[in-house]
Structure 1
Amino acid sequence: MPERYRPIVDVHVILEHGSEILLLERQGTGYCDGQLHLPSGHLEAGETLIEGAVRELGEEVGVRAAAVDLRLAAVVHHRQNSDLARIGFFFATSRWEGEPFNAEPHKCGKLLWCDPRVLPTNTIAYPAAGITAYLEGEPLVTHGW
């Protein structure tokens, strides 16, 4: 019997500050180093999507968002390669406590506030697809299939 399909579940957070969103430059991870991504990560066993999103914000940019302030902005079913798929839940918020800072300098080079309508060319395609879906009001998109 074939093994059951098991995509990785990711949570991404779009921090909205006026007309800009926060992106992080990856470094030292071996995955897309030098490219830009949202605060994000894998959902951990036993946590809800919202709990994972709140945790990732704290771990990566040192801010705390209330669960009620995170709204689901888009879902992206992403095919990373022929053997690996991910389902990314993109949340957005303009409310949080604290000032974002690089809380993981061993994984992040810098933080950048960017216009989501004109993403830098070194933005990773997967989160860019989620950001585009968020801007266009598309609740579900596929990427890489």
Structure 2
Amino acid sequence: MQRFKLIPAVHLFFVQEGQVLLLRRANTGYEDGNYSVVAGHLDGYESVIQAAIREAREEAGVEIDPADVQMVGVMHRLSNDERVDFFVEIVRWTGEIWNREPNKCDDLRWFAWDALPDNLIPYVRRALDNYRQGRWFDSVGFEQVE
């Protein structure tokens, strides 16, 4: 019998001066036209911190010191598959943030916490709310299963 496997991902909350960095997905086939945060799957044999550093470089063009990656939440999520999402706070980085993946992202900009866009992916909005409320763990999508 084959073991059950989860898909792990890391989501980066770049935070500065009362704002959070969001990107609008485009041409990916998943939630295109909606906002999210810099994020990506772990590649395997890669720590969450290593994945966060890699995604920051790949998507936003900045370098992050491992000591500046702060774990702020975990979400066990059920949608069309089952996932575990790790959320990290980034308040310090080296370089200028810019859209390194214009083929997957058509907008990358800062939003004030009280002016987040309506078309923010729902689980990302929930994770951002959890972060602001200091809630470290959440389970989403299992309501119909329990």
Match of 1:92 in 2: 89
Secondary structure at the counterpart of residue 45 of structure 2 = coil
Segments of structure 1 that go 5 or more residues without pairing to the other structure are none
Secondary structure at the counterpart of residue 113 of structure 2 = coil
Match of 1:5 in 2: 4
Secondary structure at the counterpart of residue 21 of structure 2 = strand
Moved more, 127-136 or 40-49: 127-136
Runs of 4 or more above 4 Å deviation: none
Structure 2: distance between partners of 1:46 and 1:4: 18
2:29 aligned with 1:35, yes or no? no
What are the residue-to-residue correspondences of 1:64-143 with 2, within 5 Å? 64-81=63-80, 84-143=81-140
2:38 aligned with 1:57, yes or no? no
Structure 2: distance between partners of 1:135 and 1:4: 36
| CA contact 1:21–1:116 (8 Å) conserved in 2 | yes
Shift of 1:117: 4.3
Structure 2: distance between partners of 1:116 and 1:32: 21
State the percentage of identical aligned residues: 37
Task: Tell me how many residue pairs correspond in the alignment.
Answer: 142
Structure 1: distance between partners of 2:124 and 2:9: 11
Aligned CA-pair RMSD: 1.1
Scaled by the length of structure 1, the TM-score of the pair is: 0.93
Scaled by the length of structure 2, the TM-score of the pair is: 0.93
Segments of structure 2 that go 5 or more residues without pairing to the other structure are none
Alpha-carbon deviations, 1:67-91, whole Å to 9, x = none?
Answer: 101111110111112xx11110000
